Chains A and B, each alone.
Chain A
Amino acid sequence: MTSRKTELLVGIFVALAIAATLILALQVANKGMSGGGETYELTARFDNIGGLKARSSVKVGGVVVGRVEKIYLHETDLIPVVVLRISEAYKNTFPDTSSLSILTSGLLGEQFIGLQPGFIFPEDIVRISEDKVCETTDKSDCPYLTDGEEIIDTKSALVLEDLIGQFLFNQGSE
Protein backbone atom coordinates (compact mmCIF):
# COMPACT_ATOMS: atom_id res chain seq x y z
CA MET A 1 0.00 0.00 0.00
CA THR A 2 1.33 3.42 -0.91
CA SER A 3 -0.46 5.02 2.03
CA ARG A 4 2.78 5.98 3.78
CA LYS A 5 4.17 7.68 0.70
CA THR A 6 0.87 9.52 0.25
CA GLU A 7 0.94 10.74 3.82
CA LEU A 8 4.55 11.84 3.41
CA LEU A 9 3.71 13.90 0.33
CA VAL A 10 0.68 15.45 2.01
CA GLY A 11 2.95 16.31 4.94
CA ILE A 12 5.38 18.02 2.59
CA PHE A 13 2.45 19.88 1.03
CA VAL A 14 1.30 21.13 4.45
CA ALA A 15 4.87 22.14 5.37
CA LEU A 16 5.14 24.05 2.10
CA ALA A 17 1.90 25.89 2.88
CA ILE A 18 3.18 26.81 6.35
CA ALA A 19 6.45 28.05 4.83
CA ALA A 20 4.51 30.17 2.35
CA THR A 21 2.41 31.63 5.18
CA LEU A 22 5.58 32.52 7.04
CA ILE A 23 7.01 34.22 3.94
CA LEU A 24 3.80 36.24 3.59
CA ALA A 25 3.75 37.13 7.30
CA LEU A 26 7.38 38.08 7.78
CA GLN A 27 8.71 39.14 4.39
CA VAL A 28 5.61 40.61 2.72
CA ALA A 29 3.37 41.98 5.49
CA ASN A 30 6.17 42.44 8.05
CA LYS A 31 3.75 41.50 10.79
CA GLY A 32 6.44 40.99 13.39
CA MET A 33 7.76 44.55 13.25
CA SER A 34 4.83 46.82 12.58
CA GLY A 35 2.26 45.45 15.02
CA GLY A 36 4.24 45.03 18.20
CA GLY A 37 6.32 47.39 20.27
CA GLU A 38 5.43 49.90 22.93
CA THR A 39 4.33 53.32 21.71
CA TYR A 40 3.24 56.66 23.09
CA GLU A 41 0.66 59.05 21.72
CA LEU A 42 0.93 62.61 20.46
CA THR A 43 -1.70 64.85 18.91
CA ALA A 44 -1.37 67.70 16.48
CA ARG A 45 -3.76 70.05 14.74
CA PHE A 46 -3.34 70.97 11.12
CA ASP A 47 -5.19 73.44 8.93
CA ASN A 48 -5.21 70.98 6.04
CA ILE A 49 -3.98 67.40 6.00
CA GLY A 50 -4.06 66.93 2.22
CA GLY A 51 -3.82 63.23 1.40
CA LEU A 52 -2.60 62.01 4.79
CA LYS A 53 -4.17 58.73 5.90
CA ALA A 54 -4.21 56.53 8.98
CA ARG A 55 -1.09 54.31 8.97
CA SER A 56 0.97 56.94 7.13
CA SER A 57 4.48 57.10 8.56
CA VAL A 58 6.06 59.72 10.80
CA LYS A 59 9.67 60.34 9.82
CA VAL A 60 12.59 62.22 11.24
CA GLY A 61 15.08 62.92 8.50
CA GLY A 62 13.74 59.92 6.58
CA VAL A 63 13.82 57.48 9.51
CA VAL A 64 10.41 56.07 10.44
CA VAL A 65 9.75 56.71 14.14
CA GLY A 66 5.99 56.15 14.25
CA ARG A 67 2.68 56.05 12.42
CA VAL A 68 -0.53 58.03 12.16
CA GLU A 69 -3.06 56.35 14.45
CA LYS A 70 -6.21 58.21 13.40
CA ILE A 71 -7.43 61.45 11.93
CA TYR A 72 -10.63 63.22 12.96
CA LEU A 73 -12.25 66.63 12.74
CA HIS A 74 -12.29 68.71 15.93
CA GLU A 75 -15.91 69.11 17.03
CA THR A 76 -16.02 72.86 17.57
CA ASP A 77 -12.89 74.22 15.88
CA LEU A 78 -13.62 72.25 12.69
CA ILE A 79 -9.98 71.58 11.90
CA PRO A 80 -8.38 68.18 11.45
CA VAL A 81 -6.69 66.61 14.49
CA VAL A 82 -4.08 63.92 13.85
CA VAL A 83 -3.19 61.34 16.50
CA LEU A 84 0.34 59.93 16.18
CA ARG A 85 1.86 56.83 17.74
CA ILE A 86 5.59 57.15 18.27
CA SER A 87 7.78 54.19 19.15
CA GLU A 88 8.77 53.97 22.82
CA ALA A 89 12.39 53.70 21.65
CA TYR A 90 12.18 57.44 20.98
CA LYS A 91 10.85 58.34 24.44
CA ASN A 92 12.30 61.57 25.84
CA THR A 93 14.06 62.25 22.56
CA PHE A 94 12.16 64.99 20.76
CA PRO A 95 11.99 68.41 22.46
CA ASP A 96 8.69 70.26 23.02
CA THR A 97 9.69 72.76 20.39
CA SER A 98 9.69 70.17 17.58
CA SER A 99 7.55 70.95 14.57
CA LEU A 100 5.49 68.77 12.23
CA SER A 101 4.94 69.22 8.52
CA ILE A 102 3.06 67.12 5.99
CA LEU A 103 5.41 66.14 3.18
CA THR A 104 5.17 64.07 0.02
CA SER A 105 7.68 61.38 -0.90
CA GLY A 106 8.63 61.93 -4.50
CA LEU A 107 6.43 63.50 -7.14
CA LEU A 108 3.62 60.95 -7.00
CA GLY A 109 4.42 59.27 -3.71
CA GLU A 110 2.26 59.05 -0.64
CA GLN A 111 2.17 61.71 2.05
CA PHE A 112 3.86 61.37 5.42
CA ILE A 113 4.51 63.52 8.48
CA GLY A 114 7.99 64.96 8.83
CA LEU A 115 9.05 65.68 12.40
CA GLN A 116 11.66 68.42 12.69
CA PRO A 117 13.30 68.14 16.13
CA GLY A 118 13.48 71.44 18.02
CA PHE A 119 15.97 72.72 20.56
CA ILE A 120 16.31 72.57 24.33
CA PHE A 121 17.37 75.49 26.47
CA PRO A 122 20.62 74.92 28.38
CA GLU A 123 18.86 75.53 31.71
CA ASP A 124 16.37 72.77 30.81
CA ILE A 125 19.21 70.31 30.33
CA VAL A 126 20.34 71.16 33.83
CA ARG A 127 16.79 70.67 35.13
CA ILE A 128 16.57 67.25 33.45
CA SER A 129 19.81 65.98 34.91
CA GLU A 130 19.40 67.51 38.38
CA ASP A 131 15.66 67.72 39.13
CA LYS A 132 14.77 64.58 37.12
CA VAL A 133 11.64 66.34 35.76
CA CYS A 134 11.15 63.65 33.09
CA GLU A 135 11.07 60.79 35.62
CA THR A 136 8.25 62.04 37.85
CA THR A 137 4.59 61.16 37.29
CA ASP A 138 3.72 64.73 36.34
CA LYS A 139 5.23 65.19 32.90
CA SER A 140 4.12 68.80 32.35
CA ASP A 141 7.53 70.14 33.32
CA CYS A 142 9.42 67.77 31.03
CA PRO A 143 10.91 69.65 28.08
CA TYR A 144 10.47 66.57 25.87
CA LEU A 145 7.34 65.41 24.06
CA THR A 146 5.51 62.95 26.33
CA ASP A 147 2.43 60.76 26.09
CA GLY A 148 -0.72 62.70 25.20
CA GLU A 149 1.07 65.95 24.51
CA GLU A 150 0.01 68.21 21.65
CA ILE A 151 2.49 69.56 19.15
CA ILE A 152 1.71 73.23 18.52
CA ASP A 153 3.99 74.06 15.63
CA THR A 154 2.53 72.41 12.52
CA LYS A 155 2.71 73.12 8.82
CA SER A 156 -0.16 72.02 6.59
CA ALA A 157 0.05 69.94 3.47
CA LEU A 158 0.94 71.73 0.29
CA VAL A 159 -2.20 72.07 -1.81
CA LEU A 160 -1.35 72.58 -5.45
CA GLU A 161 -4.47 74.66 -6.21
CA ASP A 162 -3.68 77.14 -3.40
CA LEU A 163 -0.11 77.39 -4.61
CA ILE A 164 -1.19 78.17 -8.18
CA GLY A 165 -3.74 80.68 -6.88
CA GLN A 166 -1.06 82.43 -4.84
CA PHE A 167 1.28 82.48 -7.82
CA LEU A 168 -1.38 84.04 -10.08
CA PHE A 169 -2.24 86.60 -7.38
CA ASN A 170 1.41 87.61 -7.07
CA GLN A 171 1.72 87.89 -10.84
CA GLY A 172 -1.34 90.16 -10.97
CA SER A 173 -0.08 92.54 -8.30
CA GLU A 174 3.22 93.18 -10.04
Chain B
Amino acid sequence: MSQVANYFVKLGRSAIDTIGAVGQASLMLFGALFAFPKWKNVRLTIAQMYVVGVQSLLIIMVSGLFIGMVMALQGYTILVNYGAEGSLGPMVALSILRELGPVVTALLFAGRAGSALTAEIGLMKATEQLSSLEMMAIDPLRRIISPRFWAGVISMPMLAIIFSAIGILGGHLVGVDWLGVDSGSYWSIMQATVDWNQDVVNGIIKSFVFALVVVWIALFKGYSCIPTSEGISQATTQTVVFSSLAILGLDFILTALMFGIN
Protein backbone atom coordinates (compact mmCIF):
# COMPACT_ATOMS: atom_id res chain seq x y z
CA MET B 1 0.00 0.00 0.00
CA SER B 2 2.75 2.41 0.96
CA GLN B 3 4.47 1.62 -2.35
CA VAL B 4 1.41 2.83 -4.23
CA ALA B 5 1.34 5.94 -2.07
CA ASN B 6 5.06 6.47 -2.77
CA TYR B 7 4.38 6.26 -6.48
CA PHE B 8 1.77 8.98 -6.27
CA VAL B 9 4.07 11.09 -4.11
CA LYS B 10 6.76 10.84 -6.77
CA LEU B 11 4.29 11.68 -9.52
CA GLY B 12 3.00 14.66 -7.61
CA ARG B 13 6.49 15.92 -6.82
CA SER B 14 7.61 15.72 -10.44
CA ALA B 15 4.43 17.49 -11.57
CA ILE B 16 4.98 20.29 -9.05
CA ASP B 17 8.66 20.54 -10.05
CA THR B 18 7.78 20.77 -13.75
CA ILE B 19 5.14 23.43 -13.23
CA GLY B 20 7.49 25.28 -10.90
CA ALA B 21 10.25 25.22 -13.54
CA VAL B 22 7.87 26.54 -16.20
CA GLY B 23 6.83 29.31 -13.84
CA GLN B 24 10.44 30.18 -12.99
CA ALA B 25 11.38 30.16 -16.67
CA SER B 26 8.45 32.44 -17.49
CA LEU B 27 9.43 34.85 -14.71
CA MET B 28 13.01 34.88 -16.04
CA LEU B 29 11.77 35.50 -19.59
CA PHE B 30 9.53 38.30 -18.33
CA GLY B 31 12.46 39.87 -16.49
CA ALA B 32 14.69 39.62 -19.55
CA LEU B 33 12.06 40.92 -21.98
CA PHE B 34 11.29 44.09 -20.07
CA ALA B 35 14.85 44.96 -19.15
CA PHE B 36 15.79 46.15 -22.62
CA PRO B 37 15.12 49.89 -22.80
CA LYS B 38 18.27 51.17 -21.10
CA TRP B 39 21.20 52.66 -22.94
CA LYS B 40 23.76 50.70 -20.94
CA ASN B 41 21.98 47.47 -21.81
CA VAL B 42 22.17 48.29 -25.50
CA ARG B 43 25.96 48.45 -25.21
CA LEU B 44 25.99 45.14 -23.34
CA THR B 45 23.69 43.63 -25.99
CA ILE B 46 26.04 44.69 -28.78
CA ALA B 47 28.96 43.13 -26.91
CA GLN B 48 26.94 39.91 -26.59
CA MET B 49 25.98 40.01 -30.28
CA TYR B 50 29.69 39.77 -30.98
CA VAL B 51 29.99 36.63 -28.85
CA VAL B 52 26.73 35.04 -29.97
CA GLY B 53 26.40 36.27 -33.55
CA VAL B 54 29.74 37.23 -35.04
CA GLN B 55 31.58 34.27 -33.59
CA SER B 56 28.92 31.91 -35.00
CA LEU B 57 29.28 33.45 -38.44
CA LEU B 58 32.05 31.17 -39.69
CA ILE B 59 30.32 27.87 -38.88
CA ILE B 60 27.00 29.19 -40.28
CA MET B 61 28.57 30.38 -43.53
CA VAL B 62 30.58 27.22 -44.12
CA SER B 63 27.58 24.98 -43.36
CA GLY B 64 25.36 27.08 -45.60
CA LEU B 65 27.80 26.84 -48.48
CA PHE B 66 28.21 23.08 -48.18
CA ILE B 67 24.51 22.36 -47.66
CA GLY B 68 23.69 24.40 -50.76
CA MET B 69 26.34 22.56 -52.73
CA VAL B 70 25.12 19.14 -51.57
CA MET B 71 21.49 20.06 -52.33
CA ALA B 72 22.46 21.06 -55.87
CA LEU B 73 24.49 17.90 -56.42
CA GLN B 74 21.78 15.58 -55.06
CA GLY B 75 19.00 17.42 -56.87
CA TYR B 76 20.87 17.42 -60.15
CA THR B 77 21.49 13.66 -60.20
CA ILE B 78 17.74 13.04 -59.78
CA LEU B 79 16.31 15.86 -61.90
CA VAL B 80 18.61 15.16 -64.85
CA ASN B 81 16.86 11.79 -65.30
CA TYR B 82 13.66 13.66 -66.19
CA GLY B 83 15.38 16.37 -68.18
CA ALA B 84 14.16 18.81 -65.55
CA GLU B 85 17.53 20.13 -64.34
CA GLY B 86 16.20 23.64 -65.00
CA SER B 87 14.11 23.18 -61.86
CA LEU B 88 17.28 22.87 -59.78
CA GLY B 89 17.09 26.56 -58.80
CA PRO B 90 13.63 26.49 -57.20
CA MET B 91 14.39 23.12 -55.57
CA VAL B 92 17.52 24.43 -53.86
CA ALA B 93 16.00 27.82 -53.04
CA LEU B 94 12.71 26.57 -51.62
CA SER B 95 14.20 23.78 -49.52
CA ILE B 96 16.82 26.11 -48.07
CA LEU B 97 14.55 29.11 -47.51
CA ARG B 98 11.67 27.17 -46.03
CA GLU B 99 13.37 24.42 -44.04
CA LEU B 100 17.12 24.02 -44.02
CA GLY B 101 17.99 27.67 -43.47
CA PRO B 102 16.01 28.22 -40.28
CA VAL B 103 16.33 24.67 -38.90
CA VAL B 104 20.04 24.00 -39.50
CA THR B 105 20.95 27.50 -38.33
CA ALA B 106 18.95 26.94 -35.15
CA LEU B 107 20.55 23.54 -34.51
CA LEU B 108 24.06 24.91 -35.09
CA PHE B 109 23.24 27.95 -32.99
CA ALA B 110 22.02 25.74 -30.13
CA GLY B 111 25.24 23.73 -30.28
CA ARG B 112 27.60 26.64 -30.80
CA ALA B 113 26.06 29.51 -28.82
CA GLY B 114 23.32 27.95 -26.66
CA SER B 115 25.66 25.57 -24.88
CA ALA B 116 28.18 28.36 -24.32
CA LEU B 117 25.50 30.58 -22.77
CA THR B 118 24.38 27.82 -20.40
CA ALA B 119 27.93 27.00 -19.35
CA GLU B 120 28.80 30.66 -18.86
CA ILE B 121 25.78 31.47 -16.71
CA GLY B 122 26.02 28.13 -14.89
CA LEU B 123 29.60 28.89 -13.93
CA MET B 124 28.62 32.41 -12.87
CA LYS B 125 26.07 30.82 -10.58
CA ALA B 126 28.48 28.17 -9.28
CA THR B 127 31.13 30.78 -8.47
CA GLU B 128 28.42 32.95 -6.86
CA GLN B 129 28.91 35.85 -9.23
CA LEU B 130 25.15 36.13 -9.67
CA SER B 131 24.65 36.28 -5.90
CA SER B 132 27.40 38.91 -5.64
CA LEU B 133 25.63 41.05 -8.21
CA GLU B 134 22.45 40.79 -6.17
CA MET B 135 24.42 41.78 -3.07
CA MET B 136 25.51 44.91 -4.93
CA ALA B 137 21.85 45.61 -5.76
CA ILE B 138 22.39 44.86 -9.46
CA ASP B 139 19.66 42.74 -10.95
CA PRO B 140 21.38 39.80 -12.70
CA LEU B 141 18.34 39.40 -14.95
CA ARG B 142 18.89 42.90 -16.22
CA ARG B 143 22.69 42.85 -16.29
CA ILE B 144 23.45 39.26 -17.41
CA ILE B 145 20.35 37.55 -18.82
CA SER B 146 18.63 40.33 -20.77
CA PRO B 147 21.59 41.36 -23.02
CA ARG B 148 22.28 37.73 -23.89
CA PHE B 149 18.61 37.07 -24.59
CA TRP B 150 18.22 40.01 -26.94
CA ALA B 151 21.57 39.39 -28.60
CA GLY B 152 20.50 35.82 -29.42
CA VAL B 153 17.03 36.77 -30.63
CA ILE B 154 18.43 39.50 -32.89
CA SER B 155 21.40 37.51 -34.18
CA MET B 156 19.78 34.23 -35.14
CA PRO B 157 17.35 35.44 -37.83
CA MET B 158 20.26 37.38 -39.35
CA LEU B 159 22.41 34.25 -39.29
CA ALA B 160 19.56 32.30 -40.93
CA ILE B 161 19.26 34.89 -43.72
CA ILE B 162 23.01 34.76 -44.33
CA PHE B 163 22.85 30.95 -44.31
CA SER B 164 20.06 30.92 -46.92
CA ALA B 165 21.76 33.43 -49.23
CA ILE B 166 25.09 31.59 -49.11
CA GLY B 167 23.35 28.23 -49.53
CA ILE B 168 21.64 29.39 -52.72
CA LEU B 169 24.92 30.82 -54.03
CA GLY B 170 26.57 27.48 -53.16
CA GLY B 171 23.86 25.71 -55.17
CA HIS B 172 24.69 28.02 -58.08
CA LEU B 173 28.39 27.19 -57.69
CA VAL B 174 27.80 23.44 -58.06
CA GLY B 175 24.72 23.42 -60.30
CA VAL B 176 25.73 26.08 -62.80
CA ASP B 177 29.52 26.44 -62.63
CA TRP B 178 30.33 22.77 -62.24
CA LEU B 179 27.43 20.68 -63.59
CA GLY B 180 26.46 23.05 -66.40
CA VAL B 181 22.83 23.90 -65.63
CA ASP B 182 21.89 27.04 -67.53
CA SER B 183 22.49 30.07 -65.32
CA GLY B 184 19.51 31.94 -66.73
CA SER B 185 17.07 29.15 -65.99
CA TYR B 186 18.57 28.62 -62.50
CA TRP B 187 17.70 32.20 -61.52
CA SER B 188 14.60 32.86 -63.64
CA ILE B 189 12.65 29.74 -62.64
CA MET B 190 13.69 30.42 -59.05
CA GLN B 191 12.37 33.96 -59.32
CA ALA B 192 9.13 32.74 -60.85
CA THR B 193 8.62 30.19 -58.06
CA VAL B 194 9.90 31.84 -54.88
CA ASP B 195 7.49 34.28 -53.31
CA TRP B 196 8.80 36.95 -50.95
CA ASN B 197 6.00 36.73 -48.35
CA GLN B 198 5.24 33.06 -48.66
CA ASP B 199 8.79 31.71 -48.63
CA VAL B 200 11.34 34.28 -47.46
CA VAL B 201 9.33 36.02 -44.75
CA ASN B 202 7.93 32.74 -43.41
CA GLY B 203 11.49 31.41 -43.14
CA ILE B 204 12.52 34.48 -41.17
CA ILE B 205 9.49 34.13 -38.87
CA LYS B 206 10.45 30.50 -38.31
CA SER B 207 14.01 31.34 -37.34
CA PHE B 208 12.76 34.13 -35.05
CA VAL B 209 10.58 31.62 -33.18
CA PHE B 210 13.49 29.16 -32.98
CA ALA B 211 15.73 31.94 -31.65
CA LEU B 212 13.28 32.74 -28.85
CA VAL B 213 13.04 29.10 -27.84
CA VAL B 214 16.75 28.25 -28.07
CA VAL B 215 17.93 31.31 -26.17
CA TRP B 216 15.21 30.92 -23.56
CA ILE B 217 16.11 27.28 -22.92
CA ALA B 218 19.85 28.02 -22.86
CA LEU B 219 19.53 30.91 -20.41
CA PHE B 220 17.05 29.19 -18.14
CA LYS B 221 19.11 25.98 -17.99
CA GLY B 222 22.15 28.01 -16.98
CA TYR B 223 20.24 30.18 -14.53
CA SER B 224 18.58 27.25 -12.79
CA CYS B 225 21.41 24.70 -12.90
CA ILE B 226 22.73 22.88 -9.86
CA PRO B 227 25.82 24.95 -8.99
CA THR B 228 28.38 22.14 -9.20
CA SER B 229 30.66 21.09 -12.03
CA GLU B 230 28.42 18.08 -12.58
CA GLY B 231 25.31 20.23 -12.59
CA ILE B 232 26.79 22.60 -15.18
CA SER B 233 27.75 19.77 -17.50
CA GLN B 234 24.27 18.30 -17.14
CA ALA B 235 22.62 21.65 -17.83
CA THR B 236 24.77 22.19 -20.93
CA THR B 237 23.84 18.78 -22.30
CA GLN B 238 20.17 19.41 -21.57
CA THR B 239 20.31 22.74 -23.37
CA VAL B 240 21.50 21.13 -26.58
CA VAL B 241 19.11 18.18 -26.35
CA PHE B 242 16.01 20.16 -25.37
CA SER B 243 16.72 22.92 -27.89
CA SER B 244 17.18 20.44 -30.73
CA LEU B 245 13.97 18.61 -29.87
CA ALA B 246 12.06 21.87 -29.47
CA ILE B 247 13.36 23.15 -32.82
CA LEU B 248 12.36 20.02 -34.71
CA GLY B 249 8.96 19.77 -33.03
CA LEU B 250 8.17 23.45 -33.53
CA ASP B 251 9.37 23.23 -37.11
CA PHE B 252 6.69 20.67 -37.87
CA ILE B 253 3.98 22.81 -36.27
CA LEU B 254 5.14 25.98 -38.02
CA THR B 255 5.43 24.20 -41.38
CA ALA B 256 1.91 22.82 -40.98
CA LEU B 257 0.60 26.30 -40.17
CA MET B 258 2.52 28.09 -42.93
CA PHE B 259 2.59 25.67 -45.84
CA GLY B 260 0.39 22.72 -44.88
CA ILE B 261 -3.15 24.00 -45.26
CA ASN B 262 -3.97 25.60 -48.58
Contact = CB atoms under 8 A, between A and B. Distances in A.
A31 interface: yes
Interface residues of A, number: 30
A29 B196 contact: yes
Nearest to A31: B196
Interface residues of B, number: 32
A29 B201 CA distance: 11
B49 A28 contact: no
Given A10-B49, A28-B97, A28-B200, A108 B82 contact: yes
Contact of B161 (A10, A20, A35, A108): A20
A10 B190 CA distance: 31
B192 A57 contact: yes
A40 to B, nearest CB: 21
B200 A17 contact: no
A14 interface: yes
B187 interface: yes
A113 to B, nearest CB: 14
Contact of B82 (A9, A23, A107): A107
Given A9-B50, A20-B161, A25 B200 contact: yes
Given A20-B164, A28-B97, A31-B196, A6 B84 contact: no
Interface in B180-198: 187, 190-192, 194-196
A125 interface: no
A16 B83 CA distance: 36
A28 B57 CA distance: 22
A7 B46 contact: yes
A21 interface: yes
Contacts of B49: 10, 13
A6 B47 contact: yes
A12 B97 CA distance: 23
Contacts of B43: 3
Contact of A24 (B46, B164, B192): B164
Interface of B: 43, 46-47, 49-50, 53-54, 57, 82-84, 93, 97, 155, 158-159, 161-162, 164-166, 168-169, 187, 190-192, 194-196, 199-200
Interface of A: 3, 6-7, 9-10, 12-14, 16-17, 19-21, 23-25, 27-31, 33-35, 55, 57, 106-109
7 contacts: A6-B47, A13-B49, A13-B50, A13-B158, A28-B165, A28-B168, A29-B199
